[in-house]
Amino acid sequence: MTTSPPPRLFALVPCAGTGERAAADGPKQYAPLAGASVVAHTLAALAGVARLAGTLVVLNPGDTAFETHAPAFAGWTARVGGATRAQSVANGLAELARRGAHADDWVLVHDAARCLVRAEWIDRLIDTCLHDAVGGLLALPLADTLKHEVQGRSEATLDRRHKWQAQTPQMFRLGRLREALQRAGDQVTDEASAIEALGRSPLLVRGAFENLKITYPDDFALAERLLRSR
């Protein structure tokens, strides 16, 4: 009798964005931060997760800067990024399959700009989701009062109970995620929403406030302080 090998775990890092909101004079993932680029910090954290069989970074087809800004990276790159995050992730999943990943293997999709992620948080996600039928994501329950805005004014206060802020990594089976993204289209902003559209309910695994995504100019100063305080 033969038995199928256990599913492997791969990381996929979409890194094809332009970072316009960050005002970083170029793609925010290449901005300098605490002695290295943003993406270099991100990839160093992923390198600390021993169970990952490989990490694929999805780049813009015209990217000529990645190797300069992440010189220590020893994983895979593919210049197959699309116009949206969903396209870049879908193209990256196809590339992983081309490199031998199977439909039952797990893929952890992580934002290049979430450079404060820690290996132990990723390991907690893996431990929680590895034997789950769906998978899940790091997230945080909302703590602040939530407002509905109309033309710059607060029109209503929204119920924050049962509301969580999605983070990454988000961990799903490669085959199911490919199907979910194909059905959901290009406008989904994270992988969990595509899985939800299939009628599945991803696990919410508590993340950390520090696992912020650099989006706006002020985020760089906060990330710098947090990295230097470690």
Work out the average pLDDT over 218-225. Answer: 94
Work out the average pLDDT over 178-202. Answer: 95
Q: Are 90 and 82 in contact (CB under 8 A)?
A: yes
Domains of the chain, CATH where assigned: 9-136+168-229 (3.90.550.10)
Ranking 11-25, 130-144, 175-189 by mean pLDDT, the lowest is: 11-25
How far CA 39 is from CA of 14, 28, 68, 116, 223, in Å, comes to 10, 9, 11, 10, 13
Q: Report pLDDT digits (tens) over 106-154.
A: 999 999 999 999 999 999 999 999 999 999 999 999 988 999 999 999 9
How far CA 6 is from CA of 101, 104, 219, in Å, comes to 12, 9, 40
The Cα–Cα gap between 77 and 51 comes to 19
Work out the average pLDDT over 44-54. Answer: 98
Task: Give residue 4's pLDDT band: very low, low, confident or very high (50, 70, 90).
Answer: confident
The Cα–Cα gap between 47 and 13 comes to 12
The Cα–Cα gap between 196 and 118 comes to 26
Task: Give residue 187's pLDDT band: very low, low, confident or very high (50, 70, 90).
Answer: confident
Q: What is the DSSP string of 121-169?
A: HHHHHHHHHTT-SSEEEEEEE--S-EEEEETTEEEEEEP-TT-EEEEEE
Q: Report pLDDT digits (tens) over 74-88.
A: 999 999 999 999 999
| pLDDT value, residue 131 | 96
| pLDDT value, residue 99 | 97
The Cα–Cα gap between 122 and 219 comes to 22
* pTM attached to this predicted model: 0.93
Work out the average pLDDT over 42-56. Answer: 98
Work out the average pLDDT over 152-161. Answer: 92
| pLDDT value, residue 21 | 47
Please count the other Cβ atoms lying within 10 Å of the Cβ belonging to residue 31.
Answer: 21
Ranking 7-21, 93-107, 108-122 by mean pLDDT, the lowest is: 7-21
| pLDDT value, residue 230 | 83
Please count the other Cβ atoms lying within 10 Å of the Cβ belonging to residue 24.
Answer: 21
The Cα–Cα gap between 64 and 66 comes to 6
Percent of residues, the chain, with pLDDT higher than 70: 95
**Length of the chain, in residues:** 230
The Cα–Cα gap between 206 and 224 comes to 23
| pLDDT value, residue 23 | 47
